[in-house]
Amino acid sequence: MKLVYLKIIVIGALLSLPCTTKVSEWVLLNSVPDKYLLVYFHENELTEEVKQQNSEIEELFHTSNIFLKTLQRDEIEKPYYALYFNNRLITEYADKEELLAIANSPIRKKIAIELMAGKLCVMLYLKSGIQEKDDKGLKVVKKSVAESPFGSVVTVVELDRKSTEEAQLVSMLLNVESDLKEIAEPMVFGIFGKFRALEPLLANGISQENINLMLNFFTADCSCLIKDNLPGVSILFNGNWDNPQTALVNKIIDANPHLEHQ
């Protein structure tokens, strides 16, 4: 995670003329998730069957942050789908059936439920597969959250990097930054709003100080600086974000006014 940049954002929020809505709540209520691009590559003219298939895909993902386009290219041996984000290839799919889990999965559903229930954020802990490293980092995350005054409104979720059920989500997380796929370290993604993930803390960067900095960002009063320079990347999710519960962090701050400007 670009911690210096995040510090600037937090300090800027405190020095500007903010609204009283906290960052996490404002993003959930007002932000529009960044779109993913799903491209259907083909060589020949589209048949009516394929057109119908693509219409069904669009309908299937009508509540997700994705749009579909077709692209005709010469010398394609077999038509296929490819998912892109910010012009970066995420995954390729041979047929429609492989797309069914592209925008949803059990962990994504769980995270969305927590965010819609008013939680401040979800700390998603992506394991490296190296037990000693994973245990050490997870201990720091759980201790940091437990000792935070906002710990009761933060959910920690663990994810195995080699999970077949969550392979699509793992791929998207490792594309939050261009070089993450090459790093065999545990990572902590702060997820907030309509499934927006901050650039991760990883390896020795998983510290109580950095986790508290992340929580300070989520609990800062929103401002034009934050709205115009919102950090993080949207994760693909097929769900309805209407009518979320009131942010639970507000009750904590109302009961503990000294936390307002920490």
CATH number of the domain enclosing 49: 3.40.30.10
Q: What is the mean pLDDT of residues 251-259?
A: 85
Question: Is residue 72 located within the same domain as residue 131?
Answer: no
pLDDT at residue 252 tops 80: yes
28 confidence band (pLDDT: 50, 70, 90): very high
220 and 152 fall within a common domain: yes
DSSP codes of every residue in 117-166: TT-SEEEEEE--S-HHHHHHHHHHHHHHHHHSTTGGGEEEEEE-TT-STT
Residues 61-87 as b/e (b if ≥16 CB within 10 A, e otherwise) read beebbbebeeeeeeeeeebebebebee
Residues 248, 192 contacting (CB under 8 angstroms): no
Reported confidence tier of residue 147, pLDDT bands at 50, 70, 90:
very high
Examine the pLDDT at 163 and tell me if it is beyond 50.
yes
Given pLDDT bands bounded at 50, 70 and 90, which one contains residue 230? confident
Residue 261 lies in a domain: no
Domain shared by 88 and 115, yes or no: no
- The reply to whether 262 falls in a domain is no
State the pLDDT confidence band at 52, using cuts at 50, 70 and 90. Answer: very high
Which of 49, 80, 99 delimits the end of a domain?
99
Is 124 a domain residue? Answer: yes
Among 82, 99, 116, where does a domain finish?
99
- 137 domain residue, yes or no: yes
Instruction: Report the pLDDT value the prediction gives residue 5, as an integer from 0 to 100.
Output: 46
Least confident piece of the model among 13-27, 45-59, 62-76, 115-129: 13-27
Verify that 155 and 204 share a domain, yes or no.
yes
Residue 211 lies in a domain: yes
87 and 130 assigned to the same domain? no
Do 81 and 112 reside in the same domain of the chain?
A: no
pLDDT for residue 75: 84
The distance of Cα 139 from the centroid of its chain, to the nearest Å, equals: 22
The verdict on 204 and 246 lying in the same domain is yes
pLDDT above 90 coverage of the chain, percent:
73
Mean pLDDT along residues 200-206: 95
Domains identified in the chain, total number: 2
Q: Residues 89, 116: one domain?
A: no
Average model confidence (pLDDT) across the chain: 89
Residues 154 and 177 in one domain: yes
Residues 44 and 147 in one domain: no
Does the residue 62 lie in any domain? Answer: yes
pTM for this entry: 0.89
In this structure, are strands 187-192 and 154-159 parallel, antiparallel, or unpaired?
Answer: unpaired
Whether pLDDT at 13 is above 50: no
Beta-carbon contacts of residue 11 (< 8 Å; ≥ 6 apart): none
Encoded tokens for 62: 């009508």
Query: Are 193 and 73 contained in the same domain?
Result: no
Instruction: Note whether 94 and 104 are within 8 A (CB).
Output: no
Query: Is 188 a member of any domain?
Result: yes
Q: Domain range holding 159?
A: 3-32+105-256
Percent of the chain residues topping a pLDDT of 70? 89
66: in domain: yes
pLDDT of residue 8: 42
Boundary-marking domain end, from 55, 74, 99: 99
pLDDT, residue 228, reads 67
Same domain, 149 and 75: no
Confidence of residue 155 (pLDDT cuts 50, 70, 90): very high
| 166 Cβ contact partners less than 8 Å away, ≥ 6 residues apart | 105, 106, 107, 159, 160
Say yes or no to pLDDT of 37 above 70: yes
